[in-house]
Amino acid sequence: MNSQAIGAGQLQPAHDLQSVAASRGELVLRADELSKDFKLGRGQILHAVRDVSFGLYKSAVVALVGESGSGKSTVARMLAGQESVSSGKIWLNGEAVQPSRGGEFRRYKSEVQLVFQDPFSSLNPAHTVRYDIERPLRLHHHSLSREQVREAAVDLMQQVRLTPPEKFLASYPHELSGGQRQRVSFARALAAQPRVLLADEPVSMLDVSIRLEMLSLLDDLRTSFSLAMLYITHDIASARYFADEVLVMYAGQIVERGAAEDVTQQPAHPYTQLLVSSAPDPDNLGGGLRELPGESGAGTGSATEIAGRNAPVVIGCPFSDRCPFVADKCRAENPPLLQLSASRAAACWRLDVAAPAVLAGREGGDDLTN
């Protein structure tokens, strides 16, 4: 039964995957088998991130999607140099860097900037916006005169559409709305003139009605500053509209990756399928909720809890506990990312059962977008 069940065995591990984001521009930042372990005490180790590899390309957006506790923010923090790397390498402009090391940190930070989720706690309430914007300008561009710094600050405010700039520069965070605060965060990140912007859930705390505006602002900034952007979110629907490539994370691993439209419209990995079917769907009216595939009876344990509890277990697929398609091999061996097309891969032994359409599409022709 076992050999019969593993029809996906013919797939090859995805060693030379071509990111769809690469068509936008050159490679800027590369994560190479990044891992992060946290020591929990009593000899326990939490593998928060395991062997995560991807590239960020100039003028392209890569989305990292997953639930809380999946390790997506830890990836961002490692890339931002705020967390040391347990193993693996970070490559910036073709050079291996160790951003969490002292002297290199500031040079790295002028190239790679992070925007946080919560605009209410990421700005110091005791400082005006001017302080927040001008400080990185001075730190990262020593040669600027006082006048030039002021001009640059005004210019940044206009870039993030906070006008009139002088009024907003003089205000304190508590005087601003959530959306305005997040714009200040963007301006502060851009003050260093980075090549890479890591946006950790930049719109999750904002109202639905202004989320879209913020995403379109981020999109404009991506174009005008030629930013390589990592967009971290748990809202896979926004990733569909905003990102070139989508990486789906579960329990510290990338379980599926590919072009945004492919991954969201024809998810291959059972977890991605769960994620996609969990997103609100206004077209499904009638007061009831759709049944989730394979979620019957799995009910009680919250996703976070399972991810956290299972993380230390290295044997087997981390999703095997919740997976409706689980087979013996899934519990015994953790699947690597298997190549589905030139740009697409999924880490699942049971792809023939979980996503027969995707496999069939693979034989018929690679590109699902057309």
Partner 1 sequence: MRTDSGGYVSGTTLTGDGGAAAREPALSIRDLSVVYRTVNGDVRAVADVTLDLHAGEVLGLVGESGSGKSTLAYGATRLLRAPALITGGSVIYRGRRMSGPVDILGLTPDQLASLRWREIAIVFQSAMNALNPVLSVSDQLTDVIRRHLRTPRPEAVQRAGKLLDLVGIPRARLRSFPHELSGGMRQRVMIAMALATDPEVVIMDEPTTALDVVVQREILGQIMELRDTLGFSILFITHDLSLLLEIADRVAVMYGGQMMEVGSAEQIHHEPSHPYTKRLLRAFPSLHGPRKRLAGIPGTPPDLLSPPPGCPFLERCLDGTEKCKEIEVRLLPVRTSADPRHQTACPFILPDQPDDEGGTPGDGARPAVAVPTVDLSSAGLSSASVSPDGGSPDGGSPDGPAAESVAVIQPGSEERAQ
Closest by CA to 234, choosing from 269, 278, 268, is: 278
Q: Which stretch binds partner 1 (CB under 8 A): 36-44, 101-109, 114-122, 257-265?
A: 257-265
Min dist. Cβ of residue 177 to partner 1 (A):
7
Min dist. Cβ of residue 16 to partner 1 (A):
22
Binds partner 1 (CB under 8 A): choice among 83, 244, 256, 352: 244
Closest by CA to 272, choosing from 260, 258, 256, is: 256
Contact status: 68 vs partner 1 (CB under 8 A): yes
Retrieve residue 66's tokens.
């997953």
Q: Which stretch binds partner 1 (CB under 8 A): 7-15, 73-81, 299-307, 334-342?
A: 299-307
Number of residues that bind partner 1 (CB under 8 A): 56
Nearer to partner 1, 108 or 319 (CB): 319
Nearer to partner 1, 79 or 203 (CB): 203
Amino acid type, 254: I
| Residue 153 Cα distances to 162, 170, 215, 220, angstroms | 11, 11, 22, 18
Q: 63 has which bridge partners?
A: 231, 246
Contact status: 365 vs partner 1 (CB under 8 A): no
Retrieve residue 269's tokens.
């990995």
Q: Which stretch binds partner 1 (CB under 8 A): 1-9, 209-217, 313-321, 355-363?
A: 209-217
Nearer to partner 1, 5 or 46 (CB): 46
Here's the x/- map for partner 1, 302-321, by CB under 8 A: it reads as xxxx--x-------------
Torsion of CA 295, 276, 32, 94, to 10 degrees: 180
Binds partner 1 (CB under 8 A): choice among 143, 300, 364, 365: 300
Q: Which residues contact 317 (CB under 8 A, 6 or more apart)?
A: 323, 326, 330, 331, 333, 334, 335, 347, 348, 349
Burial letters 216-239, b for 16+ CB under 10 A, else e = ebbeebbeebebbbbbbbbbbebb
Here's the x/- map for partner 1, 14-53, by CB under 8 A: it reads as ------x---------------------------------
| Residue 344 Cα distances to 17, 128, 153, angstroms | 7, 46, 41
Footprint of partner 1 on 142-161 (CB under 8 A): none
Task: State how far the Cα of 163 lies from the Cα of 246, in Å rounded to an integer.
Answer: 33
Min dist. Cβ of residue 291 to partner 1 (A):
9
Nearer to partner 1, 238 or 310 (CB): 238
Q: 13 has which bridge partners?
A: 338
Min dist. Cβ of residue 178 to partner 1 (A):
7
Task: State how far the Cα of 294 lies from the Cα of 296, in Å rounded to an integer.
Answer: 6
Closest by CA to 114, choosing from 181, 224, 198, is: 198
Binds partner 1 (CB under 8 A): choice among 67, 83, 134, 256: 67
Contact status: 208 vs partner 1 (CB under 8 A): yes
Nearer to partner 1, 8 or 61 (CB): 61
Closest by CA to 72, choosing from 80, 82, 63, 64, is: 64
Footprint of partner 1 on 261-290 (CB under 8 A): 261, 264, 274-276, 278-289
Nearer to partner 1, 240 or 362 (CB): 240
Task: State how far the Cα of 153 lies from the Cα of 169, in Å rounded to an integer.
Answer: 8
The CA angle 224-228-233, to the nearest 5 degrees, is 110
Min dist. Cβ of residue 344 to partner 1 (A):
14
Contact status: 238 vs partner 1 (CB under 8 A): yes
- Residues at the site binding partner 1, with contacts judged by CB under 8 A: 20, 61, 67-68, 177-178, 207-213, 215-216, 219, 234-238, 240-244, 259-261, 264, 274-276, 278-289, 292, 295, 299-300, 302-305, 308, 369-370
